Chain A
Amino acid sequence: MSSIRFSFDDKIYTGNQGEPMAAALLRNGLLHITNSTYRGRPRGVIGLGVEEPNALVQLVTGTKESMRPATVIELAEGIAARSLTGVGSLPEDTEEARYDKTNRYVDILIIGAGLAGLTAADEALRAGHEVLLIDDQPVPGGHLRQLGQDVPSPLQNTLKHTNLTYLCRCTATGLYDQNYVVAIERRSEHLGNAAPANRTRIRVWHIRADKVVLATGAFQRPLLFANNDRPGIMLSHTAATYVAVYGVKIFNTAVVVTVDNQGYRDALRLHQAGVKVQGVYDARPAANGPGVEATKAAGIPVRFRSTVLDTAANGEGLLQQVTIQDLDTKEIFQTGADLLAVSGGWTPVADLATHIGIKPTWSAAHAAFLVNHATEKLLTTGMLAGDFGGDDDPAMFFGPSLDTEQARSAFIDLQRDSTLYDLQRAVGAGLSSIEHIKRYTTIGTAHDQGKTSGMLTIGALCQLNAATQDGKPGLSPADVGTLSFRPPYVPIPFAALAGRELGPLSDPIRVTALHQWHVAQGAVFEDVGQWKRPWYFPRSGEKMEDAVKRECLAAREAVAVMDASTLGKIDIQGPDAAVFLDRIYTNMFSTLPEGQCRYGLMCKADGIVFDDGVTTRLGKNHFLMTTTTGGAARVLAWLEEWLQTESPELQVYCTSVTEHIATIALVGPKSRQLLQELVTDIDLSKEAFPFMHTREATIDGIPVRIARISFSGELAFEINVTWGYARHIWERVWAIGRAYELTAYGTETMHVLRAEKGYVIVGQDTDGTQTPHDLNMSWIVSKKKEFIGKRSFQLPWLQAAGRQQLVGLLPDNVNDIIPEGAYITALNATPDAFGKIPHIGFVTSAYYSPTLKRSFALALIADGLTRMGEVVSLPIEGKLLSATICDAIFIDKENLRRD
């Protein structure tokens, strides 16, 4: 191992490449690493990996990731971190690192590369399967690493098998239905300064496997006693590993407290590494096994039926004395020690299994909850399944009896500073469910999600409900059950989940064939669904309102052009196409002659308006439907649903052609004259080409379809052309238009023009509760045929008084542009029983009309259609505006302008 330098709390230390930061901190004498979140008590390292509740750090170079346990950070040149008290902070600077994700399908996924996982991999490979083996450690072997040993040579070959993919530093964070596993692979942090700039920092794996093998191992658990949180108190396996494998030489005298034979093995390792072990205090009445015998042979005093009751600290808050209690005589004595190594038994890592609803079962012989599962799809093995190696013989013991004062410093959850006293209070308050107690005490809710505290909570609860002399049976862990663990098993940075889908890559951007022209003209764009649409085209020095005013007047008084290509377009063909459209639309389409178009409104079965648009009949069995820009996908889905699930007898085929056909809308009194210069093969006069008709024509030999459709009330033509020709046609229109002062306009002007005519936009002037009648569009509802939604119009609650209906609104002050969404109240309304002024509706669209030279609005108002002329109030930002209800058509009620 090569020596490197790293920084911790702004000081430079040396450590060994690849070892856990916690090991180097301990070797450098840093026992007191941080202070606890709520009580400010000194805390140090207690664990070996992700179970660590105390030693949290925040990285301070590169990606300043927070809440990382120092036990899992691998040292490399350039690593810098600072200690955290409970919570970290989000870095303010932009994330520079890359993150990505990948999908993988595999025959067998094995989670955990300890001996159990490697053995399972060996078997699966021999059976001819493809295997993905993932493990959160930097090297395979699981606890062998903590013993300083290598993987046995037969299993070394397993790792080299061509059908095996082995991923280290890859933590499975969730197991979901049908063997779907999400895992995060940390790919660059361990390289420190040497990490290539283009290497992704974290890769998220989405894995689907025929079979999942859980070989997740176990964590050692602590015990509950007074002042059990001092720096110098560690899990025994942790202490032995740091001392024996990582060369931590800061401990002189150790006390080992145990409930199983693991404590003896760790006592021996400490002893062999030169630490003076004062004694092993075992809660059990007796113990046998090689480790026990070897401990005795090494001259280490062993005392049964005894355990730790309390500890004391020196002036720096570090452990200096341990109080041992005889469990039978209750006699106590003190012994000096700077290390207290605690072995409270093993807690198998059942998190992933519980994610999909498997309940761990209590095994008294193991003093642990196990998951013993073996089906075609899911298998557990190793310690999780109860293979503890045969020599542990643990007792179900979680700590001595404590009085109230001692309970206040007996920490169950070190991260949350939750104590046995808190648990007693929860039980005293009447809580008995472990899930309720978790929420009341916050035990198990920190970043470590109860990896060490969960089983202690269950154990303490059993102690509080122990069997009594008078025969009341005690509570067993089997009665309490485990906490449900939820994904993720370890915290995942949001950056990893976002991957590369950031900023402009977070959603597809759709642009029309004319987009580059709009950009060149300096258009300001707005997002409409995924589309970028020109909002308005400012000339130099123009504000938005100036530009919109100019564009509106050009359309009303001369000629203007807009790119309407984003309209949803669905090509509908088949012998039954007309019948189908009669079902879908509220009005009749089977009677529509070829070459003509008709505005249609569609409802869902509940009678609520869903979408609208103009549909053209191109042939007997051929229609072209247009939808709102944002509604194209859901309308097509709706058509397909009805065709496939309700009307299998109909032969109809629907195809999205939104991006096949570009649409150029030419609007204004001079539009006919302008277009006639371009289109020489058909007569555009109103006699030859009536409103709502279409004609096939050519421009420069390019086939175009021209429709007399108006979304402004003005004389207007829509030129439809194949997407690829759109730019050419537009440029030609623009060139000829110079003589007409042709003006390009955007969506804002389109909105003003359509609102002046009272044309609704579904989704803006409706809120998902309006019938056609509510929109004053009874005229479009056929009485002659069945269609989707018709039956609902008879429902009493859709006919009742008080429904919100679409009306116009003229503010009394002609310059008041009412904010869209503003509430409307009756004039002189009085507060109701709750002291609130009831509102009668809200504003859906509001603009300034350059033609009317005043502001106007559309609104949904209760019984609005019968309230014409009524003055209403609008409370806006502390002022009370007033407006008069009127018809929703503000311009050209007689439809004279469109011809």
Chain B
Amino acid sequence: MLYIPCPHCGLRNENEFHYGAEAGVAYPDPNELSDSEWAEYLHIRANPKGWLAERWVHFAGCGKWFNLWRNTVTHEIGPAYLPFTKQPKAPQEGSEK
């Protein structure tokens, strides 16, 4: 059970949150994209081994969406930040454990 820092409510257990995949994928102008580019926007998200900025929503708390750095290998949690704000740098490897 991850321990996730909601920017509004503080540290809460993972089961209060829903996951929203890769952060920072802007909604494109649909009419500027080819069919395959549109399909890529719909279905393809980064899933790297290591640090990934992800979207989460504190659905059982304040209901707010936010972004969060998380290490997909070690499950380390990095900084959280609000949508449409400057993305902090990815943490260093092994900074938590």
Contact = CB atoms under 8 A, between A and B. Distances in A.
B55 A645 contact: yes
Contact of B83 (A377, A605, A606, A648): A648
A644 B57 CA distance: 10
A645 B42 contact: no
A208 B3 contact: yes
Contact of A648 (B2, B13, B77, B84): B84
A646 B30 CA distance: 14
Contacts of B39: 795
Given A606-B42, A645-B65, A796-B35, A790 B30 contact: yes
Given A641-B20, A795-B35, A796-B35, A377 B1 contact: no
A646 B27 contact: yes
Nearest to B36: A795
Interface string B42-57: 1100000000000101
Given A178-B77, A375-B97, A645-B83, A791 B38 contact: yes
A641 B65 contact: yes
A446 B62 CA distance: 44
Interface residues on A, range: 20 to 34
Contacts of B77: 178
A646 B41 CA distance: 14
A176 B1 contact: yes
Given A606-B42, A645-B55, A648-B83, A791 B33 contact: yes
A177 interface: yes
A177 B14 CA distance: 10
Contacts of A178: 1-3, 75, 77
A180 B3 contact: yes
A791 B34 CA distance: 10
A794 interface: yes
Contact of A377 (B2, B63, B74, B96): B96
Contact of B1 (A180, A646, A790, A796): A180
Interface string B1-42: 111000000000100001010000001001101010011011
Contacts of A796: 35
Contacts of A605: 41-42
Contacts of B84: 648
Contacts of A606: 42-43
A83 to B, nearest CB: 38
A586 B30 CA distance: 15
Nearest to A376: B96
A35 interface: no
Interface string A843-881: 000000000000000000000000000000000000000
Contact of B74 (A208, A357, A637, A646): A357
A378 interface: yes
Nearest to A180: B1
B57 A637 contact: yes
Contact of B65 (A180, A644, A786, A791): A644
Interface in A494-539: none
A65 interface: no
A788 to B, nearest CB: 9
Contacts of A208: 3, 13
Interface in A725-747: none
Interface in A647-701: 648
A199 to B, nearest CB: 28
B71 to A, nearest CB: 10
15 contacts: A177-B2, A178-B3, A178-B75, A378-B97, A605-B41, A606-B43, A640-B63, A641-B20, A641-B57, A641-B65, A644-B64, A645-B65, A791-B33, A791-B38, A795-B35
Identify the 3 closest CB pairs spanning chains A and B, nearest first: A791-B30, A178-B3, A177-B75
Given A180-B1, A606-B42, A795-B35, 19 more contacts: A177-B1, A177-B2, A177-B3, A177-B75, A358-B97, A375-B97, A377-B96, A378-B97, A605-B41, A640-B65, A641-B57, A644-B64, A644-B65, A644-B83, A645-B65, A646-B27, A790-B30, A791-B30, A795-B39
Interface of B: 1-3, 13, 18, 20, 27, 30-31, 33, 35, 38-39, 41-43, 55, 57, 59, 63-65, 74-75, 77, 83-84, 96-97
